[in-house]
Structure 1
Amino acid sequence: MSGVTQPSEQPVDLVVVGAGIVGLAHAVEASARGMSVTVVDRDERAVGASVRNFGHACITAQTGEALAFGERAREAWLRLGAEAGFGVAECGTVVVARAPEEMAALEELAAERGGDDVRLLGPEGVRARVPVASTGLYGGAFLPRDLRIEQRRAVGAIAEWLAGRGVGFHWSTPVLGVEPGLVRTGRGELRARRVVVCVGHNLDRLLPEVADKAGLRRCVLRMLQLRVPGARVAPALLTGSSMLRYPALSGTEGARGLRRCWRVERPELLDAVVNHMLTQLPDGDLVVGDTHAYAVTPDPWADEEWDELLLAETRKLLDLAEARVVRRWRGVYASAEGEFLRAPVEPGVTAVSVTSGIGMTTALGLAPAVLDTF
């Protein structure tokens, strides 16, 4: 994927700017509709939020449009995993309740969604699925429709699969400007009938007025990779802090009660905007996260205190004497009011971004909705 191809003067039906999961989702859908497609990216491969995540398609905890996009994306992930050759596991999610307010939130969601989508668990039912500590465990829920995606391989495998189907790629090619029918790059011009700009948090670098109007900021995450020999965590694992993040749970009375409690008892979790969750990589290491900080231009410093907070929460959750950190990284995604940005820029040019940190969950369902407007 690191090869560099010179742009062609021959117009295509669609140029996609950005080869992360949002851009690739548009390329997948456009190609399926019989459109000629070219993708251009400034890097030699995707290295942004699309590979720095949990690999978690968190479908059930969404609401409204995001839930509809997530359901549509679910089927696309299963198909692409089989066809493009990367792992997609129908492993579901276990949400752990370690406070009465957390269990109440899960009970409310189960009453709304029904037992097929949200299966309530007692303490032993939780521990039969994930190796959490029994101390203080009230129970939990199993969300069977959620997926785990092999996130460090998926976008690269999709790009290679698309290239094999005739989609053109221009890697290591910075985009300098877009206008109707034209994408200007550092290697020449690309001509297209339609252009979709999917550059995530870097929208303000290319289309600053669009980013300003949307109130776009950068959300900076801190995440860890832990080596815990013998750990087996097949489903994704969410905690009470996740209930304050995901809308299907955060709107419950239980979650509101939990937030009130934590303002007094656990303010450090709220200050760091923690979503303590984890997934397991194919090699057995655990991906643990995450904290959130928001700014148009984030500070370059990383707070060790927040990493230690994540480590302490993980040790307590899994009852670990120790856990060795083998990698640390910073993820960045676009944040703005609402969950999705879909902004007409000029005739035939649309900017698209997932502004809520759920790109892996929703992008493959979002893209068809965008293309339907063309």
Structure 2
Amino acid sequence: MTADSFDLAIVGAGIVGLAHALAAARRGLKVVVIDRDAQANGASVRNFGFVTVTGQQAGACWRRAMRSRDVWAAIAPQAGIDVIHQGLAVAARYPESVPMLEAFLETEMGEGCEILTRDRARERVPGLRDDVQAVLWSPHDLRVESRDAIPLLSRWLESAMGVSIRRQTSAREVSLPLIETSAGPIRVEAAIVCPGDDLLGLYADRIAAYGLTRCKLHMMRLRPQREVRLEAAVMSDLGLVRYLGYAELPQAEALRRRLRDERSAALDDGVHLIVVRSADGSLVVGDSHHYADTPDPFAPDSVDRTILEEFDNVLDIGPYSVAERWTGTYASASDRLMLVDQPEERVRIVIVTSGTGASTAFAIAEEVIADMYGT
């Protein structure tokens, strides 16, 4: 059987794989994406769709998030992806949080951001509780509905960018110039493997050297009984000790000590609050973080209650019901946010190890393709 021929094969059709397909197609390469599932089903559609810039670690991660946000904004209208809302409001309930927000404004990452009083913040985030002392407002972040955006991005890459996507196809071996798949061989000049949290598939020995594990998170969709005019994402103090752009500031230690004393259950479950609105008026709320080589499939109600407690601490939106609950998993590392490994001259392994794929993948992909094909 004659093998199909491409310039570049990408294994994995999550956001990291699709980002590499875009970067390569923009350079005029003939690209094939290989994915074992019939449709997007992993971490790329089990998240907030929140392209988070503000709060990402200072330096490379923050710059990648800014660039990836710009790419999302440019391609969304072309691909028929709705940008549902823009901006971020970080609601500070604890006095120890306020010096952190003030210090953040003094960094490069604080450009364009401001601290709002509670009354001014309520104009943008109705329903803020009375004990919210200040709100960091950022215009930089945006939100798409990930379960819609990823399929639409895939279709646009096929129809407008000439990318071939092979679904329900497993890549069994990369041995250039061939990739052996469950649907037969594919002839390629180069390959990029984007396995997500599948750490035991292709190049398992190379991946094992990084000591990765997996993180499980809880998510929910809430349906308020009355309309909630939420025009930006909302976060809370718990996020200030998880997101490294804040947590690495010297002023974070005082908040960290108080949360250890008063919110130990939330910290133990890795809970922090993100709230985003969907086009139908529902709210996507999360999340939590539990780490294991093989996360169990169970979702204790106690974790969801902790998330909802934090939601109710920050926002008063009236009665609501939980319409959906789900979990997701992603690859995680304690010492890095992402990795690029080169097992062979024309092969790369790319894994985002911090849950920031939607926020940084487009910029990572541009860097990888530039490295492989020249700037």
Q: Could you state the TM-score of these two structures normalised by the residue count of structure 2?
A: 0.94
Amino-acid identity (%): 38
**Paired amino acid for 2:371:** T
Match of 1:118 in 2: 113
Aligned residues of 2:104 and 2:110 also touching (Cα < 8 A): no
User: Which residue of structure 1 lines up, in the alignment, with residue 40 of structure 2?
Assistant: 46
Is residue 281 from structure 1 mapped to residue 275 from structure 2 by the alignment?
no
Residue 78 of structure 1 and its aligned partner are, at CA, apart by: 1.1
Question: Structure 2: which amino acid aligns with 1:69?
Answer: R
Does the 8 A contact of 1:108 with 1:252 survive in 2?
yes
Q: Deviations over 1:271-297 (max 9, x none)?
A: 011121110111111000000001111
Q: Deviations over 1:162-184 (max 9, x none)?
A: 11132111101112222332221
CA RMSD of aligned residues (A): 1.6
Aligned-residue offset at 1:114? 7.3
Match of 1:347 in 2: 345
- 1:88 alignment counterpart: 83
Task: Determine if contact 2:91/2:314 at 8 Å carries over to the other structure.
Answer: no
Give distance in 1, aligned partners of 2:84 and 2:318.
29
Q: How far is the alpha carbon of 1:115 from its aligned partner?
A: 6.2
Query: How many Å apart are 1:89 and its aligned residue?
Result: 4.7
Output one character per residue of 1:220-259: Cα deviation in whole Å (capped at 9) or x when no partner.
0001100013112110111111111211111123322111
Tell me the residue number matched to 1:3.
none
User: 1:88 Cα shift?
Assistant: 2.0
8 A contact 2:127–2:315 mirrored in 1: yes
Residue 254 (1) aligns with residue 254 (2): no
Superposition map of 1:1-374 within 5 A: 9-62=3-56, 63-89=58-84, 91-113=86-108, 116-164=111-159, 165-228=161-224, 229-320=226-317, 322-336=319-333, 337-374=335-372
What SS does the corresponding residue of 1:34 show, helix, strand or coil?
coil
8 Å Cα contact 2:118/2:135 also seen in 1: yes
Measured in 1, the distance between the counterparts of 2:164 and 2:2 equals 10
What is the DSSP-based 3-state SS (H/G/I as helix, E as strand, rest coil) of the residue aligned with 2:271? coil
Q: Shift of residue 203 of structure 1?
A: 3.0
The letter of the residue matching 1:35 is: L
Q: Residues 216 and 24 (structure 1 numbering): CA distance in 2 closer, same or farther, change over 3 Å?
A: same
Contact 1:280/1:286 (<8 A) preserved: yes
Q: What is the identity, as a one-letter code, of the residue corresponding to 1:29?
A: A
User: Conserved in 2, the CA contact under 8 Å of 1:315 and 1:322?
Assistant: no
Stretch moving more, 310-319 or 350-359? 310-319
- Counterpart residue type for residue 339 of structure 1: L
CA–CA distance in 2 between the matches of 1:114 and 1:327? 34
Which AA in structure 1 matches 2:273?
Answer: H
- What letter is aligned with 2:155? E
In the TM superposition, residue 10 of structure 1 has moved relative to its aligned partner by 3.1
Q: Name the CA distance, whole Å, in 1 between partners of 2:269 and 2:328.
A: 15
Q: Residues of 1 paired with 2:208 and 2:317: CA distance?
A: 45
355-364 or 311-320: bigger deviation: 311-320
Q: Is the CA contact (8 Å cut-off) linking 1:119 and 1:142 kept in structure 2? A: yes
Amino acid at match of 1:159: S
How far apart are residue 131 of structure 1 and its match? 2.3
1:51-99 alpha-carbon deviations (Å, 9 max, x no partner):
1111111112222111111121122111110111111256110010101
How far apart in 1 are the matches of 2:198 and 2:158? 25
SS of 2:198's partner is helix
Distance 1:296 1:21 in 2: 22
Aligned residues: 368
For structure 1, list consecutive stretches of 5 or more residues without a partner in the other structure.
1-6
Distance change in 2, residues 1:223/1:147 (3 Å):
same
